[in-house]
Chains A and B, each alone.
Chain A
């Protein structure tokens, strides 16, 4: 097991600071150099020349949500796979590859069965909702 110093995370912090600096610097420049003559029509949201009706923030079709929910689960599953998969090789080198393989396969099988269920039931389809009646 390798020992490291916390200093290895310095570049991350430096890059964040640098990027924030770049963005703020860009704004600073544009504050000085850009014209400021905003009019009422200039600041309306673009809607092909019409005045916008109502707020944009409103309901969307439910399929966006279902995709989101499936994503959360798959994201977590793939994240859990990372440490296991990264020691797979050393397990294999130690001659315990069979154990690791079986465990990984069981894990993936359960994951895949969930995916197969969603597929079978049509949750992965995007256009199916035309056929469905929206519940009042």
Chain B
């Protein structure tokens, strides 16, 4: 029961704020809609029994969205994007980009929809979901164990990736030093 309620709340939040991200013109409001979307996805993770991933999602993206907002307001001065043409959705850029966006979306929608329909055809009856859908197993310890055993390479490599990202971001963002020698 609670599972269903949580699922519908999260799904509504996710999709509604996802649409807001697309539709809203003000970049700050877009960022806030993105935050809502991420919180909704965190709720969906909870309904999937992945509460650790949900908390990670919350923690990383709340921080990330603060940074995005900082950039959004500072680099754009919060001017809405210039309006081109007269479209229903004001944030949609110009006619060409809107067309391409819609075509891509349509192609993707059709192909994925086809796959999904195929999955309904073969039936998802083979799923191994537990008998009581509102019972979950705690996953934190298992994630930790897997990170230290099976996925240890990925774990260590991710730290190398983050090192690269840290150094790269620091170098790129650093203001150029005056060439005094």
User: Which A residues have a C-beta under 8 Å from some C-beta of B?
Assistant: 1-7, 9-10, 13, 55, 57-60, 62, 64-66, 68-73, 75-77, 79-80, 82-87, 90-91, 99-100, 103, 106-107, 110-111, 113-114, 117-118, 121, 123, 129, 131-135
A124 to B158, CA, bound (A): 23
Contact in complex: A62, B175 (CB < 8 Å): yes
- Report A11 CB to chain B, min CB distance, Å: 11
Interface range on chain B (Cβ under 8 Å from partner): 35 or more
3 nearest A-B pairs in the assembled complex, by CB-CB distance: A87-B144, A83-B144, A133-B178
Question: B173 → chain A, closest Cβ, in Å?
Answer: 5
Within the assembled complex, what's the spacing in Å between the Cα atoms of A110 and B159? 6
Among A5, A72, A75, A114, contact of B135 (Cβ-Cβ < 8 Å)? A5
B-side interface residues toward A, CB under 8 Å?
2-3, 5-6, 9, 46-47, 49, 51-52, 56, 59-60, 63-64, 66-67, 70-71, 73-75, 77-78, 134-138, 140-145, 147-148, 152, 155-156, 158-160, 162-163, 165-167, 169-170, 173-178
Report the bound CA distance from A72 to B29 in whole Å: 21
Is A117 a contact of B170 with CB atoms below 8 Å? yes
A68→B147 CA distance, assembly (Å): 27
Residue of A2, A4, A72, A83 near B67 (CB, 8 A) is A72
B5: which A residues are within 8 A, CB to CB? 13
Q: Within 8 Å CB of B47, what residues of A?
A: 6
A59-B71 contact, Cβ under 8 Å, with A69-B173, A135-B175: no
* A6-B43 Cα distance, complex, nearest whole Å: 11
Q: Is the interface of A mostly helix, strand, loop or mixed?
A: helix
Q: Are B3 and A6 in contact (CB under 8 A)?
A: yes
A65 touches B141 (CB 8 A): no
Known: A1-B142, A87-B141. 6 other contacts (CB 8 A): A6-B2, A6-B46, A6-B135, A59-B75, A69-B169, A72-B63
Mostly helix, strand, loop or mixed at chain B's interface? helix
Of all chain B residues, the one with the shortest Cβ separation from A69 is B169
Contact A121 B174 (CB under 8 A): yes
Other-chain contact of A6, B6, B165, B178 (Cβ < 8 Å): B6
Contact B138 A65 (CB under 8 A): no
Q: Which residues of B contact A82 (CB under 8 A)?
A: 52, 56
Check A13–B144 contact: CB distance below 8 A: no
Q: CA of A55 to CA of B93 in the docked complex: distance in angstroms?
A: 25
Out of A1, A9, A118, A131, name the residue touching B6 (CB < 8 Å). Answer: A9
Asked whether B173 lies within 8 Å of A75 as measured between CB atoms, the reply is no
Contact partners of A6 in chain B: CB under 8 A: 2-3, 6, 46-47, 49, 134-136
A71 and B73: CB pair below 8 A?
no
What is the chain A residue whose CB lies nearest that of B140? A83
B173 touches A62 (CB 8 A): yes
Contact A64 B70 (CB under 8 A): yes
Q: How far is the CB of A114 from chain B (nearest CB, A)?
A: 4
Cross-chain contact B137 with A3 (CB below 8 angstroms) = yes
